[in-house]
């Protein structure tokens, strides 16, 4: 039983990270209806930047927040320079451009930092020793991940619920034309959406780097899990993305343990199966709104 609880806890920690990156995907999908294949690599690059800062002697939390701010501006620049001019282009074009972003950051990271894995420290002030509660080991770092995810969710909720900019962003996503009429600059809101998504992605990257090693491809696998989470939760539902993240985290942790065929290596197959099953049987996801297409 303790074994099971232990697994559930580990799965939830992974799930929180998937949920965070899925949240980034959802924010972009909601505002621009683009599935951003470059999201993971953008996050990877931001993580490397924070590693550089740490390497230069900046204290952990300073590097952490600096990387988030830089990622925010990278997101804004990418939208401004690459995505915005393509508005109204065919889907194929936009998919290709986001793939270009993927390739670009992947190879730039390889160029600057080489493929040698780097050790990324766990945040300063978080104890390394696990706490034992009734036979179950609780990893303090996992608690940190939950706390950050929870804090970020609250922040985003408040931002989208109570601030003028947040409301304007929601309006721009839901009704671009009407929003323009009431004076909201829709491109500006989309740009902000890209910035916030990039910042959320960077957070996910920096939180997962201590668990896996930091190397240029480390987000590729996490991206697939996050896609699974976003699709499961519904690509236009932020709450769904986080919920989906937890479900995907649990499914892969428990599946890896109890389905002998899956083991530790094939958890990603479960993510793939989830993606296909959800897209086939409930394309809108758990919390998403079904899309009605007018013919």
Which residues of this chain interact with another protein, rule CB under 8 A?
A: 34-35, 37, 82, 85-86, 91-97, 99-104, 106-108, 110-111, 114-115, 217, 220-221, 224, 227-228, 231, 263, 265-266, 268-269, 271-272, 275-276, 279-280, 283, 295
Shortest Cβ 107–another protein spacing (Å): 3
Residue 59 vs 283, nearer CB to another protein = 283
Residue 158 vs 279, nearer CB to another protein = 279
Shortest Cβ 280–another protein spacing (Å): 6
Residue 100 vs 135, nearer CB to another protein = 100
Shortest Cβ 271–another protein spacing (Å): 7
Shortest Cβ 225–another protein spacing (Å): 10
Residue 95 vs 239, nearer CB to another protein = 95
Shortest Cβ 136–another protein spacing (Å): 30
Residue 59 vs 263, nearer CB to another protein = 263
Residue 112 vs 147, nearer CB to another protein = 112
Shortest Cβ 29–another protein spacing (Å): 9
Shortest Cβ 276–another protein spacing (Å): 5
Q: Can you spell out the DSSP letters for the chain?
A: -HHHHHHHHHHHHHHHHHHHHHHHHHHHHHHH----TTHHHHHHHHHHHHHHHHHTT--HHHHHHHHHHHHHHHHHHHIIIIIGGGTT--HHHHHHHHHHHHHHHHHHHHHHH-SS-B--PPPTT--SSPEEETTEEE-HHHHHHHHHHHHHHHHHHHHHHHSHHHHHHHHHHH-HHHHHHTT--HHHHHHHHHHHHHHHHHHHHHHHTTTS-B-TTHHHHHHHHHHHHHHHH-TT-HHHHHHHHHHHHHHHHHHHHH-TTTTTT-HHHHHHHHHHHHHHH-TTTTTSPPP----
Task: Please give the C-alpha separations between residue 169 and each of 161, 217, 233, in angstroms, as whole numbers.
Answer: 10, 32, 21
Residue 28 vs 149, nearer CB to another protein = 28
């Amino acid at each position: 039983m303790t074994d099971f609880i232990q697994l559930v806890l580990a799965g939830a920690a992974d799930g929180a990270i998937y949920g965070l990156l899925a949240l980034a995907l959802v924010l972009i999908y909601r505002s621009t209806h683009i599935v951003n294949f470059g999201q993971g690599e953008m996050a990877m690059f931001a993580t490397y930047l924070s590693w550089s800062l740490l390497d230069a002697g900046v204290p952990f939390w300073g590097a952490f927040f600096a990387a988030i701010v830089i990622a925010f501006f990278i997101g804004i620049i990418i939208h401004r320079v690459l995505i915005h001019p393509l508005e109204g282009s065919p889907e194929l074009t936009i998919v290709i451009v986001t793939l270009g972003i993927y390739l670009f950051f992947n190879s730039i990271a390889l160029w600057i930092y080489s493929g040698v894995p780097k050790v990324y420290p766990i945040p300063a002030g978080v104890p390394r020793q696990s706490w034992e509660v009734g036979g179950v080991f609780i990893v303090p770092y996992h608690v940190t991940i939950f706390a950050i995810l929870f804090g970020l969710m609250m922040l985003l909720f408040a931002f989208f619920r109570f601030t003028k900019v947040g409301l304007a962003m929601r309006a721009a996503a839901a009704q671009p034309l009407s929003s323009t009429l009431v004076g909201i600059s829709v491109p500006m809101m989309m740009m902000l959406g890209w910035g916030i998504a990039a910042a959320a992605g960077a957070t996910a990257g920096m939180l997962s780097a201590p668990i896996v090693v930091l190397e240029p491809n480390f987000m590729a696998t996490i991206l697939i899990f996050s896609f699974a989470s976003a699709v499961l939760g519904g690509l236009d539902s932020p709450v769904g993305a986080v919920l989906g993240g937890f479900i995907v985290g649990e499914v892969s942790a428990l599946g890896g343990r109890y389905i002998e065929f899956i083991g530790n290596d094939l958890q990603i197959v479960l993510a793939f199966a989830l993606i296909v099953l959800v897209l086939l049987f409930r394309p809108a996801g758990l919390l998403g709104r079904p899309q009605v297409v007018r013919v």
